[in-house]
C-alpha cells in the first residue's frame, strides 16, 4: 500500500459521510499496524505517515493552508536559476502536474510522441520501490504540448536507453532520488530566485523554511489549467485526483470571484422582444 492508496481510502470514507472522529480512529489503527510491519521488515515505510484526513464538505481552507502556486513571473525566474540540464525536468512538472513519484517513475514506454503526444501515467516510484497505479483516476493520459513533445523527442534521441529506462535519469542512468534533487538542485535555484532563504537563515527564521517544492509545480499546473479555461472535471482528470469535489475544495481560491457581467446572456439566450421580431 502507498500513501496515495491511504489518501484514496480516507477520501472514499469522507465521501461516504464518515465523521472526522471515525476516520481519525481508523488512521491511528492503520498507523500502528503498518508501524509493526515496518519493524518486522515486511514494509519499508509506513504509508499512513504524513497522510492528512480530508476536510469535510463545506470546510474552507485557511489562507496559510491553501496550495501555494508560482506566478508566471516566479516560475520564469525559478526556471532561469536552474542548471540547464535540469530545466526540462521542472518544465515537465509544470506542464503535466505529475506527482514527483510519478515523474521519477516515468519510463519511455509510457511516453507517446506520435500524432497525439501524451504521457501515459501508469506507474510511480516511491522510495526506490516501483508500483503500478491501481486507481482508475491515477491511471490517466495527459496531453503534451507541441513544444514539450519536441523537447522530449530530442531527449529521447540523445539519452534513450530502452523502453524501461527512466525518462529523467541520474548521471549514472538510474532513477532520480527526489531528496537529492531537492537538496542539490531545487533549493539552490529557489534561493537564487529569491523564493527560499539561504540555509544559514532557516534556523533563525520564525516562518516556515520554504514553500517551494516539487508539489509547487503541480499546484502551478492546476493554476495554469484553470487560467486556460479548463473546468474542474478536466483538472481533476489531468491531476489524477480521486474526485472533482477534492479538486474544487483544493483549488476554489484560484477561480474568479464575483458574478461578473451578464452580457453574454444576450447571445446565449437570444430572446428578442415581441415588437422587434420579424
Q: Clarify whether residues 35 and 153 are in a common domain.
A: no
List the CATH number of the domain containing 54: 1.10.150.130
List the CATH number of the domain containing 241: 1.10.443.10
Helices 214-227 and 84-96: crossing angle in degrees, nearest 10, is 50
Q: Clarify whether residues 143 and 271 are in a common domain.
A: yes
Scan for cell 503500478, then name that residue.
132
Q: Clarify whether residues 96 and 157 are in a common domain.
A: yes
pLDDT at 62: 45
Q: Clarify whether residues 51 and 155 are in a common domain.
A: no
Q: Clarify whether residues 272 and 206 are in a common domain.
A: yes
Q: Clarify whether residues 130 and 176 are in a common domain.
A: yes
Query: Domain range holding 230?
Result: 67-278
Q: Clarify whether residues 155 and 192 are in a common domain.
A: yes
Q: What are phi and psi of 16, to 5 degrees?
A: -80, 10
| Domain total in the chain | 2
Distance CA 41, CA 127 (A): 15
Q: Clarify whether residues 187 and 277 are in a common domain.
A: yes
Facing residues of 120 across strands? 141
User: Which sign does the torsion angle of CA 67, 72, 77, 82 carry?
Assistant: positive
Mean pLDDT of 118-147: 90
Q: Clarify whether residues 135 and 45 are in a common domain.
A: no
pLDDT at 92: 97
Give pLDDT tens digits for 16-27: 677 777 887 788
Lowest mean pLDDT among 45-54, 72-81, 111-120, 156-165: 45-54
Specify whether the CB–CB gap between 149 and 113 falls below 8 A.
yes
Of 59, 80, 102, the position where a domain reaches its end is 59
- % of residues, the chain, pLDDT over 90: 48
Q: Clarify whether residues 38 and 71 are in a common domain.
A: no
Give pLDDT tens digits for 26-51: 887 888 788 788 787 888 888 887 77
Of 59, 79, 104, the position where a domain reaches its end is 59
Mean pLDDT of 146-166: 96
- What is the model's pTM? 0.71
Q: Clarify whether residues 169 and 36 are in a common domain.
A: no
Mean pLDDT of 249-254: 81
Q: Clarify whether residues 20 and 150 are in a common domain.
A: no
User: Confidence class of residue 272 from pLDDT cuts 50, 70 and 90?
Assistant: low
Q: What are phi and psi of 256, to 5 degrees?
A: -60, 140
Of 59, 91, 108, the position where a domain reaches its end is 59
Amino acid at each position: 500500500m502507498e500513501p496515495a492508496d491511504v489518501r484514496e481510502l480516507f477520501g472514499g470514507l469522507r465521501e461516504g459521510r464518515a465523521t472526522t472522529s471515525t476516520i481519525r480512529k481508523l488512521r491511528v489503527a492503520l498507523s500502528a499496524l503498518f508501524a509493526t510491519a515496518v519493524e518486522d521488515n515486511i514494509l519499508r515505510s509506513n504509508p499512513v505517515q504524513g497522510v492528512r484526513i480530508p476536510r469535510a464538505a463545506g470546510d474552507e481552507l485557511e489562507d496559510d493552508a491553501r496550495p501555494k502556486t508560482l506566478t508566471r513571473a516566479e516560475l520564469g525566474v525559478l526556471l532561469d536559476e536552474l542548471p540547464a540540464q535540469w530545466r526540462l525536468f521542472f518544465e515537465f512538472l509544470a506542464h503535466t502536474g505529475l506527482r514527483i513519484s510519478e515523474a521519477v517513475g516515468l519510463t519511455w514506454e509510457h511516453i507517446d510522441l506520435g500524432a497525439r503526444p501524451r504521457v501515459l501515467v501508469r506507474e510511480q516510484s516511491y522510495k526506490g520501490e516501483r508500483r503500478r497505479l491501481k486507481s482508475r483516476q491515477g491511471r490517466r493520459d495527459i496531453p503534451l504540448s507541441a513544444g514539450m513533445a519536441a523537447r522530449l523527442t530530442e531527449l529521447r534521441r540523445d539519452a534513450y536507453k530502452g523502453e524501461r529506462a527512466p525518462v529523467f535519469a541520474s548521471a549514472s542512468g538510474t532513477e532520480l532520488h527526489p531528496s537529492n534533487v531537492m537538496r542539490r538542485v531545487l533549493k539552490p535555484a529557489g534561493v537564487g530566485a529569491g523564493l527560499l532563504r539561504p540555509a544559514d537563515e532557516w534556523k533563525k527564521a520564525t516562518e516556515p523554511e520554504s514553500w517551494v517544492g516539487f508539489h509547487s509545480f503541480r499546484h502551478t499546473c492546476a493554476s495554469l489549467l484553470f487560467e486556460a479555461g479548463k473546468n474542474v472535471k478536466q483538472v481533476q482528470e489531468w491531476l489524477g485526483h480521486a474526485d472533482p469535489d477534492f479538486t474544487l475544495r483544493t483549488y476554489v481560491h484560484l477561480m474568479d470571484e464575483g458574478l461578473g457581467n451578464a452580457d453574454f446572456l444576450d447571445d446565449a439566450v437570444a430572446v428578442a422582444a415581441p415588437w422587434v421580431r420579424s
